Amino acid sequence: MTHAQPAPAPDTAPTVAAVVVLAAGQGTRMRSSTPKVLHTLGGRSLVGHVLAAAEPLAAGTTVVVVGSGREQVEQHLAEVAPTALPVVQEEQLGSGHAAAVALAAVPDLEGSVLVVNGDSPLLTSRTLAALVTAHDAAGSVFTVLTAEVADPTGLGRIVRDGSGAPRAIVEERDATDEQRAIREVNAGVYVANAGTLRRVLSGLATDNAQGEQYLTDALAPLVAGGAPTAAVRADDPDDVLGCNDRVELAARRRTLNDRVLDGLMRSGVTVVDPLTTWVDATVTVGRDAVLEPGTHLRGGTAVGDGAHVGPDTSLTDTQVGERATVVRTHAVGARIGDDVQVGPFAYLRPGTDLGAGAKVGTFVETKNAQVGEGSKIPHLSYVGDATIGRGTNIGAATVFVNYDGVAKHHTTIGDHARTGADNMFVAPVTVGDGAYTAAGSVITSDVPPGAMAVARAPQRNVAGWVRRRRSGTPAAEAAAAAESRAEAPREDPSGPSRVDHDS
């Protein structure tokens, strides 16, 4: 059986008994101490994207074959796919050998198995579902995903017979001139009956330059034995692109980002400049939100309906409420409530929680700070380890002194308080509801509700200090000139006597 045309997306998601991810390769062309499948793009690792694409297939078992950098890969799997079973391929003896190692780890497995490379970050759930659906509909025991590409150089060609049925996967080095002209290529993704796959893998030869067993060689003996096989072409050839070096990683990152932004714009989000806007696949953005140029949204960031983000803003794992405005801001692990204004040039660190209608303004840094509804921190301030009530205003150039060199301490400012400019709150300290603090104060003791706290030394002017201690400087010269002007006799304010020239 064959599917020469792209298969339509299924109405209901199909399932498989198992997913096998081949992630043992060294990835030497990455030139990196990081295993290839752990390189990241769009908010996930390469293998993370593959696992996410396969997740809707609801496999009872997911096996990830690991080898090079296995400890790092296993640790990553424990974080992103804790139910996946890592299986070690001690020697990297080819894709066929890797698949056999995976199946040996689940000897009682029956049913359909999806086998996929761990470095295909553009694979979509839609494409995998269409592949499995076509496999089931055809009654196939082995189905290969293919793609038609403009330049097939270096890729295995799909050879079909006169009826369109797949006959073999031929690597370029083994292909004839006629076969090299074929533009339909192997995607490295397969669905197979578990029992059939075990049998054919056990018989794969190693008579090649590398002395390895290749999964691509499984198709030909099945065809020769009359087993039903199929080849399904992906709608979008980008879906099957792998990632072998940093150049390809950058290209896959751009393609993935374009897909994410296209999806957002079609769902009602305004992206002013897609070329400079980067949004991870793990981010959600509400309808009528606006993303200005230079906006980067990463990790688990969620932007609410009607919010305005950017320009030049980077948000990681940050929640942005509806109708909030976030301009030229860097935020990590923060929550920004509805109708909040942030920036420009603000830094929201983890634990920042801004209540509805609050404001964090220019050159303000916050950390582990809860700011109540309608409260404002407009200018040039640091707020760390603090709770600020509702409707409170924090004066410019305020510092919450939270660290004593050993431990962090907390400051509490009540509702509707007014703190003066250039204040320092030396934690632990509490300022009560409705209290005021004077400009220039260093607050070291609690301020009762409704009180005015003044904590500054009386001003003392030392006359003539500059003339005596800084003689010869421009400051001393300016002071002397000012003193001379002050000492000069003043003229009669009524001016000189009027002379009447007409008399």
Question: What are the DSSP calls for 322-347, one per residue?
Answer: TT-EE-SEEEES-EE-TT-EE-SSEE
- As for how many domains the chain has, the answer is 2
- Residue 10's contacts (CB-CB under 8 Å, 6 or more residues apart) are 129, 130, 133
User: Within 10 A of 404 (CB to CB), how many other CB atoms are there?
Assistant: 11
Residue 31, CA distances (Å) to 44, 241, 384, 433, 470 in order:
20, 20, 41, 59, 61
Q: CA 384, CA 404: separation in Å to the nearest integer?
A: 13
- Same domain flag for 338 and 231: no
Asked if residue 471 is part of any domain, the answer here is: no
Report the SS3 class of residue 320: strand
Q: How far is CA 438 from the centre of its chain?
A: 43
The two structure tokens encoding residue 379: 């200018």
Report the SS3 class of residue 224: helix
- Same domain flag for 186 and 294: no
The answer to whether 41 and 34 are in contact (CB under 8 A) is: no
Helix (H) or strand (E) holding 354: strand 353-354
pLDDT at residue 27, rounded to an integer: 86
Query: What does 28-70 look like in DSSP terms, one character per residue?
Result: GGG-SSS-GGG-EETTEEHHHHHHHHHGGG--SEEEEEEBTBH
Asked if residue 331 is part of any domain, the answer here is: yes
**Residue pLDDT, tens place only, 414-423:** 999 999 999 9
The two structure tokens encoding residue 118: 């761990």
Q: CA 14, CA 161: separation in Å to the nearest integer?
A: 29
Q: Which long-range contacts (CB under 8 A, 24 or more apart) does 447-455 make?
A: 449/414
The two structure tokens encoding residue 207: 């008579």
Angle between helices 46-54 and 125-138 (to 10 degrees): 50
- Backbone angles phi and psi of 313, in degrees to 5: -130, 140
Q: CA 323, CA 320: separation in Å to the nearest integer?
A: 9
**Among the listed residues 43, 47, 46, the one whose alpha carbon sits nearest the alpha carbon of residue 62:** 47
Asked if residue 245 is part of any domain, the answer here is: no
- Same domain flag for 24 and 72: yes
Residue 53, CA distances (Å) to 46, 98, 124, 125 in order:
11, 21, 5, 4
- Same domain flag for 309 and 231: no
**Residue pLDDT, tens place only, 239-292:** 999 999 999 999 999 999 999 999 999 999 999 999 999 999 999 999 999 999
Which residue is catalytic, options 97, 379, 409, 416? 379
- Same domain flag for 449 and 348: yes
Asked if residue 119 is part of any domain, the answer here is: yes
> Which residues in the chain land under pLDDT 70?
1-12, 208-209, 490-503
Provide the whole-model pTM: 0.89
- The radius of gyration of the chain from alpha carbons, rounded to an integer in Å, stands at 35
The answer to whether 131 and 189 are in contact (CB under 8 A) is: yes
The two structure tokens encoding residue 172: 């370029």
Helix (H) or strand (E) holding 291: strand 290-291
What CATH number does the domain containing 427 carry? 2.160.10.10
Among 453, 477, 495, which residue terminates a domain?
453
Amino acid (1-letter code) at residue 412: T
Amino acid (1-letter code) at residue 275: L
The answer to whether 96 and 217 are in contact (CB under 8 A) is: yes
- Same domain flag for 399 and 305: yes
**Among the listed residues 360, 406, 405, 404, the one whose alpha carbon sits nearest the alpha carbon of residue 383:** 360
The boundaries of the domain holding residue 160 are: 18-240
What CATH number does the domain containing 193 carry? 3.90.550.10
The two structure tokens encoding residue 76: 């990553």
Among 408, 423, 453, which residue terminates a domain?
453
Residue 253 burial by Cβ neighbours in a 10 Å radius (0-12, 13-18, 19+): middle
- Same domain flag for 187 and 147: yes
- Same domain flag for 236 and 273: no
- Same domain flag for 227 and 362: no
Q: CA 256, CA 46: separation in Å to the nearest integer?
A: 12
In a 13 Å sphere around the CA of 78, the CA atoms on its Cβ side amount to: 6
Asked if residue 472 is part of any domain, the answer here is: no
- Same domain flag for 192 and 276: no
**Among the listed residues 376, 396, 382, the one whose alpha carbon sits nearest the alpha carbon of residue 347:** 382
The two structure tokens encoding residue 210: 């590398």
- Same domain flag for 55 and 174: yes
- Same domain flag for 92 and 229: yes
pLDDT at residue 2, rounded to an integer: 33
Asked if residue 6 is part of any domain, the answer here is: no
Q: CA 400, CA 39: separation in Å to the nearest integer?
A: 39
Amino acid (1-letter code) at residue 396: A
Pairing state of beta strands 418-419 and 436-437?
parallel
Asked if residue 246 is part of any domain, the answer here is: no
- Beta strand ranges found along 171-289 (DSSP E): 184-193, 229-233, 270-271, 278-279, 284-285
Q: Omega before 344 cis (within 30°)?
A: yes
Strand partners, 385: none
In a 13 Å sphere around the CA of 327, the CA atoms on its Cβ side amount to: 11
Q: CA 433, CA 372: separation in Å to the nearest integer?
A: 12
330 is catalytic: no
Q: CA 448, CA 452: separation in Å to the nearest integer?
A: 8
Asked if residue 480 is part of any domain, the answer here is: no
Helix (H) or strand (E) holding 360: strand 359-371
